[in-house]
Amino acid sequence: MPIVNRVADLHADITEWRRDLHMHPELQYDVHRTAGSVAEKLKAFGCDEVVTGLGRTGVVGVIRGKKGGSGKTIGLRADMDALPIEEQTNLPYASRTPGKMHACGHDGHTAMLLGAARYLAETRNFAGDAVVIFQPAEEGGAGAAAMIKDGLMDRFGIEQVFGMHNGPGIPVGSFAIRTGPVMAATDEIDIDITGLGGHAARPHFCIDSVLVGAQVVTALQSIVSRSLDPLDSAVISVCEFQAGNARNVIPQTAQLRGTIRTLTPHVRELVEKRVHEVVAGVALTTGAKIDVTYKRGYPVTVNHAMQTDFATRIAREIAGEANVHETPPLMGAEDFAYMLEARPGAFIFCGNGDTAGLHHPEYNFNDEAIVHGTSYWIKLVENALAA
Ligand SMILES: [Zn+2]
Ligand SMILES: [Zn+2]
How far is Cα 380 from Cα 132, in angstroms, rounded to an integer? 12
CA of 138 to the centre of ligand 2 (A): 7
CA of 326 to the centre of ligand 2 (A): 19
**Which residue, among 259, 36, 261, has the nearest Cα to 136 in the 3D structure?**
36
Dihedral sign from CA coordinates of 346, 347, 353, 354:
negative
Determine the pLDDT at residue 68: 79
Q: What is the full per-residue pLDDT of the chain (387 aa) written as tens digits?
A: 467 788 889 999 999 999 999 999 999 999 999 999 999 999 999 999 999 999 999 999 999 999 977 789 999 999 999 999 999 999 999 999 999 999 999 999 999 999 999 999 999 999 999 999 999 999 999 999 999 999 999 999 999 999 999 999 999 999 999 999 999 999 999 999 999 999 999 999 999 999 999 999 999 999 999 999 999 999 999 999 999 999 999 999 999 999 999 999 999 999 999 999 999 999 999 999 999 999 999 999 999 999 999 999 999 999 999 999 999 999 999 999 999 999 999 999 999 999 999 999 999 999 999 999 999 999 999 999 997
CA of 331 to the centre of ligand 1 (A): 13
Q: Are 87 and 359 in contact (CB under 8 A)?
A: no
As annotated, the active-site residues are 81, 138
CA of 140 to the centre of ligand 1 (A): 9
Query: For residue 48, how many other CB atoms are within 10 A of its CB?
Result: 12
CA of 169 to the centre of ligand 2 (A): 15
Residues around ion ligand 2, judged by CB within 5 A, are 104
Q: Is 11 exposed, middle or buried (0-12, 13-18, 19+ CB in 10 A)?
A: middle
Determine the pLDDT at residue 2: 61
How far is Cα 377 from Cα 318, in angstroms, rounded to an integer? 10
Instruction: Find the ligand nearest to 107 CA.
Output: 2
Q: What are the Cα distances from residue 147, in Å, to 48, 339, 348?
A: 20, 9, 21
How far is Cα 297 from Cα 294, in angstroms, rounded to an integer? 10
Q: Name the DSSP class of 328.
A: P
How far is Cα 317 from Cα 65, in angstroms, rounded to an integer? 22
CA of 105 to the centre of ligand 2 (A): 6
Render the burial of 280-318: b for 16+ CB within 10 Å, e for the rest: eebbeebebebebebeebbbbbbbbeebbebbbebbebb
CA 191 to chain centre: 26
Instruction: Find the ligand nearest to 166 CA.
Output: 2
Q: Are 158 and 131 in contact (CB under 8 A)?
A: yes
Instruction: Find the ligand nearest to 360 CA.
Output: 1
Instruction: Find the ligand nearest to 84 CA.
Output: 1
Instruction: Find the ligand nearest to 336 CA.
Output: 2
Instruction: Find the ligand nearest to 167 CA.
Output: 2
CA of 336 to the centre of ligand 2 (A): 10
Determine the pLDDT at residue 4: 79
How far is Cα 371 from Cα 375, in angstroms, rounded to an integer? 6
How far is Cα 204 from Cα 195, in angstroms, rounded to an integer? 12
Give the H/E segment covering residue 247.
Answer: none
Q: Are 95 and 22 in contact (CB under 8 A)?
A: yes
CA of 60 to the centre of ligand 2 (A): 19
CA of 85 to the centre of ligand 1 (A): 11
CA of 213 to the centre of ligand 1 (A): 31
Continuous H helices in the chain: 5-23, 32-45, 106-123, 143-149, 152-155, 209-226, 265-286, 305-319, 336-342, 370-384
Longest dimension (CA), the chain: 84
Give the H/E segment covering residue 246.
Answer: none
Determine the pLDDT at residue 70: 75
